[in-house]
Structures are given as C-alpha cells and as structure tokens.
Amino acid sequence: MNLVVAVKQVPDTEAAIRIAPDRKDIDRSALPMILNPYDEFAVEEALRLREAHGGSVWVVTVGPPAAVDVLRTAIAMGADDALHIVTEHSLDALTTAALLAQQIKTHGFDLVLTGREAIDDGYGLIAPMLAEMLEVPVVTLVSSLKLEDGSLIAERDVEGGRETLRCALPAVVSAQKGLNEPRYPSLKGKMMAKKKEIPTVSADVSEAKLEVLHLGYPPIRSGTKILGEGIQAVPELVRILRDELKVI
Amino acid sequence: MAGSVCVVTEQFDGSFRRVSYELLTAARRLAEAASAEVIAIVGPKTVAEAGATLGAYGANKVVQFAGAPESEDLSQLCESLVPVLQELQPMCVLVPGTVHGQELAGRLAARVGAAAVSAVLDVSYADGALTVLRPLYGGKVLATVAVRGTPAIVTVRPNTFGAVAGGSGPAEGVTFAWVPPARAPERLHFRKSAAGRPELTEADIIVSGGRGVGSAENFRVLEELADVLGAAVGASRAAVDAGWRPQADQVGQTGKVVSPKLYIACGISGSVQHWAGISSAKCIVGINKDPQAPIFSRADYGIVGDLFEIVPELTRQVKALKGQG
C-alpha cells in the first residue's frame, strides 16, 4: 500500500502563547514545538496498515525550516520517507491543502491520512479539501479503520450517533483520538531519523485569501467566586442557577 | 452591493437542527450590514414547510433540490451546491460546524476555490469586507481575520450564536436540480445515541466529570443531576482514558469544544487542555475536593468539597424546586 501522511508542527499544548508586538502573529521564539497530536494517530495508523498489508509510509509537511523535526519524529516512529514543503509563514487551509495535493499527486497514493485538525489553527478542513483536490472520497474523524477487499471500513462519532462507512480506495481519512495508541520512537528509530536525508521543495505561494488583522487575548473571567464548602454551599448555587442563569 | 448571504441548514431526525436557526440569526445581521438577502439551503432531504419555518428566522429565499434523496447527510450536498453558488454569487456561505458540515465546507471551498474559515465566534461585514473572529491555540488567542474573495465559506459551531426569530414572513421557494455526489462513502450502519440527553455540542447545560469521579459506575451521580437539569453529560480526558466514558463524551482540546450556558465541572482539575474545550461556556461551576485545583482560578463559581455529597444534594434541591422531589 502506498500510504501518505500529512503532518504539521504545532506549539506544545502546555506552552504559554504570547502575542508579538505587531499583534499580527505570536512570539515564536523559544516556543516548544511538537508533532500535532492528531497527526500522531494518523502516523500510527499508517504504520499499522503497512504492517498488515505491506507497502510504504511517506510523510509530508508544509512549514518553516524547523518543521523538519516533525518529519524526523514520524521517521523515528517508523515512516519510510518524507518531504518538506518549506514556507516562511503560516498559511490558510486552502493554500496548505493545495501545496500538499500537488506533491501527493506526484508521489501517488492509495490512502492519505492526516489528523482531525491541527491544534494551533484548528481549521479541521484540510482532509476534505485534500480529498476534493485529489478527486477521491473522504471520511473525517475516523476512530476505527479497517481494510477489506480494496475498500476501507471506517467508524466515526457524529452528532446524534455513530456511523459505519465504506469507501473505495484511493481515499483520504482524518484521524480522531481513539483510533489507536501512538507508539514511541525507538532509540534505533531516532538514530535513523537523525541521519535521514529529507528532501525539500519551496512553496510557491500566491496571494493569501485570509489576512490576520490583529490578535488579542480572550477576555479574562472576573475570577472564581467560591460559594463555600460542602453541601452548605448548595442553596446559593441553586439560587444562582434559578435567578441569575435562569436554567431552572 | 453584495447580493446574498447563504446559510446551509442541517436536519436531524426529521427536524432542523437548532444550529440552522443560529446561523440564520447571524446571517440576518450580516445581510442588514451588506443590504443583502438571506438564502437558506435545505438538503439533501426536502422539507415541505421549509419556507415558513426558515422564513421565521429571516430567510428570504429557501433553496431545495428536486430529486434529492431522503438523506440528512450534509456532506452529500457539495456537487449540488456548485451551480447554486454560481448562480447566486453569495458573499458568504455559513455552514454548521458539525461533522458533516465541516466535511461539506472543506470540499466546497476546494471545489470553488474559495477561502474557508472554521469555528468562528463572530462574523461581521463592513466597508465591503467580511471579518471573522476565531480562536487559535486552543482559545489562548483570538484572531480577527479579514476573508478575501467571494464566496467566503464560514463554519460556526452549534451554540455560538443565539437563535432569535425575526423575519418578514414565509420565504420564497427556489428549486435547483439535485446533482448526485460523485464520491460519497456508503453508509453501512448508523447507531443512534441513546435518546433522552442532548448532544454535547448543542446542550445548554453540561454536567461533566473527571478523575475525581473515580469510576464508570460513579458517573450515575452526575447522570442523575444531568437528567433533572435536562443536561448532557461530558467527561475530561482523564475519565475517558480511564475507560469510564466513551471518547464521544470527551470535552477539551482533544475532545469536543462546547459552548453551553452552564458547565458544571465535577472532580475536574481544570488543565489548559480541558479549558480549551470550555472557554466559551457562559458560566462555569467547579466542584472539587482540592481547594488548590486550577479550576478554582478560572471558573465563575466554585464549591470546595466532596462531589459525592454536593452533586446529590444539588440534584435533590433542583428536583424540589421543580416540584419533582
């Protein structure tokens, strides 16, 4: 199987995010960066599919020079090869998807996997955009996946229930937490990943469709009012639910 | 003048999801600012009284598709929408930020080469430009973003905007031909969630449990409170990873982002990742044994103590108030 995984480098969820002085971007100096957690599920699933069905796992990212680290992480986990599409600044979902689609078309694929969303910009649109550009079906938010006779059978939670879907390969899927438990890179894997030659291509980006006017911090809540300890505090909470929130 | 604002409506179990009315309410505001009209899209499944129902929330026209299947799955709408957008040239298309809605938005944006933004908290129109407010980095930062070109495809999570009726009477019906999806996966099976409790992303009230709940069985205490309040039951990552609740119930950065009026966090410490899922809740109440838990620095109200005493007492008092006690 020709398995392709689209991944992204994002700030660690624990990282404190500071807005840069120009208020157009965040301060990216000394920001701890990680492989997007949802993309870890996608890499793991690709490795498992390769173990079960043979083939290769090719990982691709769009990002600044430092984003090569997430490709090395995926190779350390067990991916065969990688490609880095180098850009200088963050892009909107459509531009990113177009850059990925162009390279994936050239490389060829049976199945493209990516995370449900990147936790930095949270678009959650790359998988369906990629599918449309590659002219194949898509199943987003997959939390169970198996292959049968050249088709994939996927399960996912949707509002109001759980779907089981079948679609023919080639296809695109996006991974949801619960799909698997991503493995840790082995020491041998890490050594290999360090030495791996990772090809780069520079992105040719035309005018962006989105312009960040400014960034701000969300309004700070006014602080917690402690209503008391134990069941003595319950009547006051009930009063708030009834009189202030009007939910009773 | 931009001619129109399109709203893609979504149905579930034979009626419109509330998010459809929320989007129409937002579209009305946009349309006023841009002197445009509001066009609601219904489908695939056609609805006989759509003109009256959606007109009550401000739709001027309602588009339906002749020959469409009886499916409520929005992701099948992409191919049929292309000619609609070509003909109407809307300034923007508002799409429910549901699983099927997100899939539709991404495919449609790629199909027509339009800018797409998801999970917006606000959307406005001024001086010929559409501007959205959306969270970044799990809600640690809010970005004000100008969207260039038309149509802008914008997804909005349920419960982001209120649904306020207001319109000039029944909407005019417009029919387009159904274009079958070229590449839709086949749905083999759908297991409906157990009835009775609202969907997490649509709920006005959520009672949520974390590590402090201690076991799957103990969630019953939270379920009892949820049932008297008409609430959904959520869980923190710790409770899901421990196997006490299904993944579908997880609230937070790697779960669902919710925006209820009231979020009651029971035995949840309140990590940044959990906060990413609840920061747009209007009121957050923390119940936790540990007075030092981070939830008590960010919630609106807190009660320090044993949730197994406090939650049943709260259930009892709410029941008494509702005359069910």
| pLDDT of A220 over the 90 cut | no
If we measure between CA atoms, which residue out of B225, B314, B204, B293 comes closest to residue A236? B314
Tell me the CA distances in angstroms from A72 to A67, A79, A109, A158, one per residue in order: 9, 9, 21, 33
Describe the strand order of the beta sheet including B283-288 as a list of residue ranges. A225-229, B301-304, B283-288, B262-266, B205-209, B232-235
- Beta-carbon-side half-sphere exposure of residue A72 (alpha carbons within 13 Å): 16
Instruction: Let me know: does A235 contact B307? Beta carbons within 8 Å.
Output: no
Q: Rounded to the nearest 5°, which phi and psi values hold at B167? A: -175, 180
What DSSP designation does A83 have? E
pLDDT band for B283, please (50, 70, 90 cuts). Answer: very high
| Chain B residues within an 8 Å CB radius of A211 | 145-146, 148
Q: What is the pLDDT of residue B120?
A: 97
8 Å CB contact of A122 and B250: no
pLDDT in tens, A162-208: 999 999 999 999 999 999 999 999 999 999 999 999 999 999 787 77
Interface of B with A in 168-207 (CB under 8 A): 183-193, 199, 201-202, 204-205
Instruction: Let me know: does B309 contact A230? Beta carbons within 8 Å.
Output: yes
Residue A66 CA to residue A100 CA, distance in Å, equals 18
If we measure between CA atoms, which residue out of A112, A138, A161, A61 comes closest to residue B105? A138
Q: How confident is the model over A12-20, as a mean pLDDT?
A: 94
pLDDT in tens, B136-169: 999 999 999 999 899 999 999 999 999 999 987 9
| Chain A residues within an 8 Å CB radius of B141 | 17, 19, 26, 215-218
What DSSP designation does A26 have? B
| pLDDT of B58 over the 60 cut | yes
| pLDDT of B325 over the 70 cut | no
Full-model pTM = 0.96
pLDDT in tens, B81-93: 999 999 999 999 9
If we measure between CA atoms, which residue out of A155, A109, A110, A172 comes closest to residue B107? A172
Bridging pattern class, strands B141-147 and B129-136: antiparallel
| pLDDT of B115 over the 60 cut | yes
> Which two three-digit tokens encode residue B256?
């669902």
Q: What is the pLDDT of residue B1?
A: 42
Provide the angle, in degrees to the nearest 10, between the axes of the packed helices B78-88 and B99-112: 50
| Chain A residues within an 8 Å CB radius of B148 | 207-211
Q: What is the pLDDT of residue B168?
A: 79
Instruction: Let me know: does B70 contact B48? Beta carbons within 8 Å.
Output: no
Query: Chain A within 8 Å of B141 (Cβ-Cβ)?
Result: yes
Q: How confident is the model over A229-233, as a mean pLDDT?
A: 97
Provide the angle, in degrees to the nearest 10, between the axes of the packed helices B99-112 and A93-107: 80
Q: How confident is the model over B295-319, as a mean pLDDT?
A: 97
Residue A33 CB neighbour total at 10 angstroms:
18
Q: How confident is the model over B25-49, as a mean pLDDT?
A: 96
| pLDDT of A76 over the 90 cut | yes
Instruction: Let me know: does B302 contact B285? Beta carbons within 8 Å.
Output: yes
> Which two three-digit tokens encode residue A60?
């691709």
The DSSP-derived string for A171-226 is EEEEE-TTS--PPPPPHHHHHHHHH----EEE------SEEEEEEEPPPPP---EE
| Mean pLDDT for chain B overall | 95
Tell me the CA distances in angstroms from B46 to B9, B14, B70, one per residue in order: 11, 10, 7
Q: How confident is the model over B19-41, as a mean pLDDT?
A: 96
How far apart are the CA of A66 and the nearest CA of chain B, in angstroms?
A: 19
Q: How confident is the model over B256-277, as a mean pLDDT?
A: 96
Residue A169 CA to residue A147 CA, distance in Å, equals 9
Q: How confident is the model over B167-194, as a mean pLDDT?
A: 93
| Chain B residues within an 8 Å CB radius of A124 | 102, 106, 118-119
**Which of A109-123, B192-206, B247-261 is predicted least confidently?**
B192-206
- Beta-carbon-side half-sphere exposure of residue B198 (alpha carbons within 13 Å): 21
SS3 at position B10: coil
What DSSP designation does B292 have? T
